Every structure is written in structure tokens, then in C-alpha cells.
Amino acid sequence: MALARLKADTQDAQEFFLGVSNSARGFAWRERLDAASRNIAIAISQQHGLPELLGRVLAARGVKLDEVPLVLDPSIKALMPDPSVITDMDKCAARLADAIVRDERMAVFGDYDVDGACSSALMQRFLQAHGRNARIYIPDRMTEGYGPSPGAIEGLVKEGARLIITVDCGTTSMDTLGKAKGLGAEVLVVDHHQADERLPDVHAVVNPNRQDDLSGLGHLCAAGVTFMVLVATARELRRRGHYTAEQPAPDLLQFLDLVALATVADVVPLQGLNRAFVTRGLIVMRRRENIGLRALFDAAGLNQAPTPYHLGFVLGPRINAGGRIGDSALGAKLLATDDETEAARIAVLLDKLNRERKAIEKEMLEEAVAEADRLIDADPGLPILLVGSERWHKGIVGLVASRLVERFGRPACVIAWENPQQGTGSLRSVAGVDIGAAVRASVAEGLLLKGGGHAMAAGLTVRRDGFEALGDRLRAMLQDATSAARARSGLEFDGALTPAAVTNGLIDLIERAGPYGQGNPQPRFAFPAHRVKFAKVMGEAHVRCTLEAGDGSKLDAIAFRAVGQPLGDLLLSSSGMPLHVAGMVRRESWGGRERIELQIEDAADPRRQD
């Protein structure tokens, strides 16, 4: 409970929400709205004629008075700027338009995650709408690793590609892509990963995170950037008179289902243009027009209107499963195909691979947690957890790193040692700790063979004999940021409710400020001093129960992955005693019936607060 004491010490003058300074998960609870935001919440409600709760939710997420209409009704037209504001966009669009007009042989080189698969499928579908096609190449995660390799680029050129478009990768592939021109092909890089000052010598690098880009669109995922490339290319083709009554321009809005999926799965901030992508993309997705997505819905048993939750936790993991433990190209093939038989085959295979992935992840996580416990016992103030094993599957290390962050509240790096010489690792972080910058600095200092990523997620390849030096350097770089992040951490609340207040009307009201995700957190509510009844283990890892208020109103609830954790232990041992319970209310459809339940995130015993 050292973390809870640390947080409590830093806010002596602050009032804990419901008096909870030390919850089952070791968190301090706080009200999300501060005094200034409360005034803004009142102004939002009065000026825009909104219910008080909605005004509070908006104000707590930093929405200003004049931004309310766009937040409640985010539109592509209002929120998407001219694509030309991104550096190299016009060069990229002109070259892609040339290739379409000339019917050049093209290849799309994508990453093996959801964002890469969606970006590859977007580019392919755009080309198919113009009667063109491209070879999609997704590297094998196990044998080739991330990004373009010399062998892959050479192979694509030998197959006849004269234009290679990399999506969700390529920004740091200086040497590999720089040689493509000498082989007879030009390259367009469409990416969003953090960039160094030096860029590959290619025709265009469209990346809002390159250091000389002033577009302010660095929060887009690669599929979002790809969509803007398609908009710019269609505009260029229209300018050239390419479209006719017989061959009109494609409706690009039909592709927003893929952009929405990638935006949620890549955990980029759901703010500004990203909110419009997801809001409008979900509308497209509900029409089930993408044959691959439709097949994946069916394989996953998803028979309700998809939400951001389904994108992030149902569809995304299945697409990723191919890259993690199967064929890395399966996701892109599924999302790009119009063959219903092929789509059904791939979707069923991905669903099977996802089940296998869960089993592997469970075993790895148990070992990683045991090692992390040992490290924290030796040094409770560790700024980053570094764990590794020769037995671990390198396609699963990112998932295990995420679980360690969730459990221990600090950055984590999980490494699969492939051989005695080197290993492949994934890092995940907490808000306020930029691990992408730390990894890039480590590459520059010669501590890594390669590496890159974002502030919250990164990947690396490290020599076995350099692991100790890497650990020392990462701990030194991240110590201050992690300490500050841990001091600020805790659970923030939008208010307190009783089961009687949790109605379809409340859910409808909350959803008006959605979609929720990274940067726009789902509203969290507390249920003060509610009795937890009928608590039982569901499956192997979850706890299901019923909350009951003093007025007799009840609410079904579930705590995911809580078995064997302090939260699960508290719920299962409550014996009907009153607990403060925290979580998010959601509406579920099951078997043709609709129900509302609470997804429990935390709980606290009112009698045991410091």
C-alpha cells in the first residue's frame, strides 16, 4: 500500500471522494471536477440547455463553452482540416494520383497490428474503387519484426512494384527505404509514429509527428492519416478531371468503419477529429457493409450495435491475434476482401487464434507478475518494471506489459528472449511518462539494436549483454516522471449514484458526450455504502454480484479479472456488508434482451479508511 500512502501524502489539503484514500486497489478517490470546472459545468448547462449531469461530464473533460455543439455532434466536415496542412501531403497525393492514372504496379507495406491492418485495407479499397489493385505485404511478427526489411522491399520490387506505400510504419526505416529508389521503386510513407530529425530519403513522408510538421494532428492513428491521404488524392484526381458520370469519385465516408476501429484499437486520444472518426465510423459499421467486419461480428457472436468497447475488446484482439500467434497478414486480408466465403474462413480462424492467445497470455502473466512482485519487494520505488523470459512468446509481450501497468501503476517492459544473444520487447506506460522518447534516446545511445513507438506504447530489440545497461538507463530517464505520475494517480469520479438512478435515460444522457476512450474517459460513478450480494466467481477470473441500496433498488455488476486480486477478495468476502463500489454503467444486449450493469473498477470498505 506504499502507492496509496504516497498519493495521500501529496494531497493533504485535498478532500478524498467519499473519504476514500486507500481503496482495494490502493487508489485514492477524487472528484473529477475542481472548483473552476464546477462553474464551467453550470455555465454549460445553462447556456446550452443541458441537464446538470451532462454539463458536469463535459466540463470535467475540459470542454469549453463554445466547443459544446461540436463535442455533442462531432462531424468530419467541421473537424477535419484541409489535408494539405500535413507536411508532404500534396506531394504524396500527387504521386499516388499519378500511379492511379498510369495504372502503375503498387504495393502496400503495413504493420501487423489493427492500425496497420485497417490502414492497409483502406488503401487497397481506395485503389479498388479506381479499378486498381495493390499487393498488400504484412511482415511476419516472429521472423521479420516491425517495419520494412531489405528483403521484403527487394521482393516487392522484383514482383514489379514501382510505387511502395508504407502505412503505420516506415518513418524510422532510413537505410531500408532509402535504397528502394536504386532498386527501381519510389516510396510513400504514411505513418504516425514519433520521428527523429532525420527521415528516410523517399518521395514523401506523411506523418503529423515528424518534427517539422505543424498540423497539430499528431493524435491521429495511422488509419486516420491514411484517410486524409485518400481525401487529398481524390481531390487531386478530381482536379485533373479523372472522375466522370460513368466513373464517379468513391464515397470515402464508407471507409470510416475501418478508421474508427483503428482509432479505438490503437488507443489514441478520442478528441477533436478522432471523435468524429469514431462517431461517424460506428454509424457506418452498424450497416455491416464491410464483408470482413461482418464476418468477424458473426464469429465473435456480436449481434448488437457496436460500441467503442466492442472495437477495443472484441474486434481488435481478434484481428491482432493473427499477428501475435498466427499469420500476420490475416487481419488486412479480412478487412480488404469482398469474398464472403474467404471472409468467413479468416474470421473463424482469427477467433480460434484469439482463444489460443488468451491461454498463452494467462500463463505468461502469472510468471511476469511473480517476477514483478519480486522486483518491487526489493525496490518499491521502481520507475519501470523490466521482466523477461526465454519461455515467453514475443507476440504476447505487449499484452502482458499492459496487464503489469494496470496492476502495478507504473511503466513496464516485457521481453521475450529469442536466443542467447537478443530479445524482443514491448513497453507500455502510464499518463505523463513518455516511453517512446526514452526508447528513441536508448537507440541513439547504442543501448538498443532498434526501437520506437509512442509516449504510451513502444517496442524494442535489445542485446542480452546490454540488458543491464538498458535497465539502468531507463530507470534513470523515467524516475522523475514516474514518481510524479504515481503521485497524481488515482480514480476520478463524476458523481455518486444509486441503482434507482441507473436507467436507460441516464445511459442515453451519458452517451451524448461519447464516444469514450483515451483522452475522453468514460464517466465513473460511485455507489456509496451499497451492500454487495450474491458475489460469485464467473469463469476463471471474473466476479459477478448484485449491488443493493437502502431503498431496495438493485443493480447487476461485474468485476473483470478480479479473482485473486484485492478487489475480488473484498467483493467475495463482503457477506452483504456495505461497501463503496466504483465503476462505469453500461448497456448490454444479450440473447435479444437489453440490460444495464455496472462494470466494477474498484471498491472500498468505509470502515477501513486511513
- Does pTM top 0.95 for this prediction? no
pLDDT > 90: percent of the chain: 86
**In a domain? residue 370:** no
- Confidence label for 12 from pLDDT (cuts 50, 70 and 90): very low
Q: Tell me, what CATH number does 561's domain have?
A: 2.40.50.460
Q: Are residues 51 and 63 in the same domain?
A: yes
**In a domain? residue 374:** no
Residues forming a β-bridge with 277 = none
Backbone angles phi, psi at 169, to 5 degrees: -170, 175
| Residue 14 amino acid letter | Q
Q: Are residues 336 and 246 in the same domain?
A: yes
Q: What is the spatial distance between Cα 391 and Cα 52, in angstroms, rounded to a whole number?
A: 54
610 has pLDDT over 70: no
Q: Are residues 419 and 548 in the same domain?
A: no
Q: Are residues 43 and 83 in the same domain?
A: no
Q: Are residues 124 and 63 in the same domain?
A: no
Give how many domains the chain has, as a whole number: 3
**In a domain? residue 362:** no
What is the pLDDT at residue 590?
66
14 has pLDDT over 70: no
Q: Are residues 180 and 225 in the same domain?
A: yes
Q: Please give the radius of gyration of the chain, using alpha carbons only, rounded to the nearest integer.
A: 25
pLDDT > 70: percent of the chain: 97
Q: Give the end of a domain, one of 488, 505, 526.
A: 488
Q: Do 91 and 231 form a contact (C-beta atoms < 8 A)?
A: no
Q: Are residues 68 and 92 in the same domain?
A: no
Q: Do 255 and 283 form a contact (C-beta atoms < 8 A)?
A: no
Q: What is the pLDDT of residues 166-183, one digit of tens each?
A: 999 999 999 899 889 999
C-alpha cell read off for 584: 462505469
Q: What is the spatial distance between Cα 489 and Cα 501, in angstroms, rounded to a whole number?
A: 28
**In a domain? residue 372:** no
**In a domain? residue 550:** yes
Q: Are residues 505 and 447 in the same domain?
A: no
Q: Tell me, what CATH number does 464's domain have?
A: 3.10.310.30
Q: Are residues 288 and 155 in the same domain?
A: yes
- Three-state SS for 192-233 is CCCCCCCCCCCCEEECCCCCCCCCCCCCCCHHHHHHHHHHHH
> If you search the block for the grid coordinates 487481419, which residue do you land on?
331
Q: What is the spatial distance between Cα 57 and Cα 60, in angstroms, rounded to a whole number?
A: 5
Q: Are residues 449 and 413 in the same domain?
A: yes
What is the pLDDT at residue 576?
85
For residue 217, with 0-12 CB atoms within 10 Å meaning exposed, 13-18 middle and 19 or more buried, which class applies? Answer: buried
Average pLDDT over residues 5-28: 69
Torsion of CA 305, 300, 427, 377, to 10 degrees: 100
C-alpha cell read off for 566: 484485492
Q: What is the spatial distance between Cα 172 and Cα 196, in angstroms, rounded to a whole number?
A: 8
Q: Are residues 407 and 497 in the same domain?
A: no
What is the pLDDT at residue 13?
35
Q: What is the pLDDT of residues 555-576, one digit of tens each?
A: 999 999 999 999 999 999 998 8
**In a domain? residue 61:** yes
First to last CA, the chain: 11
Per the structure, the complete domain to which residue 152 belongs is given by 77-353
What is the pLDDT at residue 592?
66
